[in-house]
Copies of this chain bind each other. A is one copy, B any other.
Amino acid sequence: MLIKNIDLVPIDGKNEVIKNTNIYIKDNIITHIGEIREDIQVERVIDGKNKIAMPGLINAHTHIGMSLLRNFADDLPLHDWLTKKIWPTEANLRGEDVYWGSLLSMVEMIQGGTTAFCDMYFFMDEVGKGLEESGMRGVLTRGLIEDNDAKAKLKETKELFNNWNSKANGRIKVMVAPHAPYTCSPDFLIESFNLAKELNTGIHIHLSETKKEIEDSFKLYGKSPIKHVYDLGILDLHTIAAHCVHVDDEDIEIIKEKNVFPVNNPGSNFKLASGFAPVAQMLNKGVSVALGTDGSSSNNNLNMFEEINLAAIINKAVNLNAISVPAISALEMATVNGAKALGWNEEIGSIEVGKKADIVLIDIDKPHLYPHHNIISSLAYSVQASDVDTVLVDGKIIMEKREVKTLDVEKIKFMAEKHAKDLITR
C-alpha cells in the first residue's frame, strides 16, 4: 500500500513535520518513507492531499464496557455516584451487555483516531471477541477487586491469557489487573503479581487517584499507595499505573526507578473532582506519562484528541507557565508513551520504517483548521475527533473516509441502546 503526497507527523522524538512525503506499507509493516519508489509494486494508493498522517492514538487506560452507562449518572458526589448508581447497575451486567458496550466504544475510538487501548473490566472474553472483529489493537485485563470470588477471578485471568494473549496476529495482549491497593489486600496484590510473573506479562492497576485514597493508605499502611506497592515488590514487573494524580516527590522517584508507566486521565480526573496530576513534573524527570480517557461514564467520551488538548492546556494553568506540556509532549503522551505503557514500543507509537502500520489520517480541509500554520500545534489545540478521516491498524484500513469497515455501526448503536435500557431497568 502507498499513502502518497502526505504531510507526516512521525512523533519519532523530534518536533517535526515531514512535508509532502510518501509512506509504503507491505503487509502490516512500514517499509519506506520518502521519495516515490518506482521499483516497489503497489496494490492500493491513498491520496494524502489535505491530510496529515500521524501515529494511531493509544488510549492507555479505559473501561470500555462502561459506555452503556454514559450520561446515566452525572453531577453527583463521587461516593453516591459509585455506590448508588454505578456499582448497583454494574452488578446486573451480563456478558452480552459488555460485548455490545465494548463494540460501541470501539466504534467511537476508531472514529476518533484511536488504534490501541488498554481495557480493565469484566466479561473480558466478550471484549476479546469484539476486539478481534474490530481490527483494533488492545491489552485486555480482567479487573480484580478482592472479594469472595477473588480466586475465581485470578483463574479467569489465566484463562483469558491462554485464550487471547498474542492472538489476532499479535494485536491482542493480556495483563493482570489487581484493581487498586484499596480494593486488594497485600496478600492478594502479591498473588496477582505472582500470576503475572508466571504468565510473563505485566500489571495494570489504579494508583493514587483521589486524596481520600492517599489518606486511607497512610492510615492503614503508614505510606502512600505507590510506596506500599513498591515495598510489596509489585512494581518489579512492567506496570501500567492509571491516574497517579496525588503523587509526591518520593512517589515520582519510585515511578522513575521502577520504570512505571503512569497514565494521565485528565477528563475523568476533573469530572470526578479527583484533581490535577503533576504531569509536567513527571515528564521533566524523564517519566514516560501516557494518556487515557478512563471509562466513558466518568468523562463522558473516549475522545483522545480531547485528552490531548486537556493535557496541553491544563498543565499550563496549573503551573502558571505557558510553555508547560507543549503540543508535541501532549501528542507524545498519546502515542509513543502509550506504546511504551502497553509494552508495544518496538511495534507502534510512531511512524518509522520497520514499525507496524497503525496510522491515522487527519482531514485538515476544515474551516476550524485553517490557516495551515503549525501542524503540530493544530493537532494538539484545534483538531477534533471528527477530523479523523482514515484509520489503519496492522496495515489494514479499518476506517476510510469516516466509514468504519470492520464493524456494523448501525447494528451496534441499536444493540447498545437496547442493552443499556434493559440494564438500567433490570
Known: A300-B382, A316-B271, A324-B273. A74 touches B377 (CB 8 A): yes
Number of chain A residues whose Cβ lies closer than 8 Å to a Cβ of chain B? 72
Q: Which of A20-28, A53-61, A166-174, A414-422 has 4 or more CB atoms under 8 Å from chain B?
A: A414-422
A334 within 8 Å of B (CB atoms): no
Task: Give which listed residue, B68, B74, B302, B416, contacts A381 with CB less than 8 A.
Answer: B74
A264 within 8 Å of B (CB atoms): no
Cβ–Cβ contact B377 & A78, under 8 A: no
Cβ–Cβ contact B417 & A108, under 8 A: no
Chain B nearest CB from A377 CB (Å) reads: 4
A365 to B385, CA, bound (A): 16
A272 within 8 Å of B (CB atoms): yes
Cβ–Cβ contact B71 & A316, under 8 A: no
SS of A interface (majority): helix
Cβ–Cβ contact A274 & B317, under 8 A: yes
Task: Give which listed residue, B112, B317, B421, contacts A275 with CB less than 8 A.
Answer: B317
A228 within 8 Å of B (CB atoms): no
Residue of B nearest to A77 (CB): B322
Residue of B nearest to A409 (CB): B367
A68 to B370, CA, bound (A): 8
Number of copies: 2
In the complex, chain B residues whose CB is within 8 Å of the CB of A314: 270, 314
A323 within 8 Å of B (CB atoms): yes
Cβ–Cβ contact A412 & B71, under 8 A: no
A325 to B77, CA, bound (A): 12
Q: Name 5 extra pairs, CB < 8 A, besides A71-B374, A271-B317, A301-B381.
A: A67-B371, A72-B371, A74-B326, A303-B368, A384-B386
Interface residues of A (CB under 8 A from B): 67-72, 74-78, 81, 104, 107-108, 111-112, 211, 267, 269-276, 296, 299-303, 306, 309, 312-314, 316-317, 319-324, 326-327, 365, 367-368, 370-375, 377-378, 381-382, 384-386, 409, 412-413, 416-417, 420-421, 424
19 chain-A/chain-B pairs, Cβ below 8 angstroms:
A70-B370, A70-B371, A70-B373, A70-B378, A74-B377, A74-B381, A75-B323, A81-B322, A211-B320, A270-B314, A273-B316, A273-B320, A273-B322, A276-B317, A296-B382, A300-B378, A306-B306, A370-B416, A371-B417
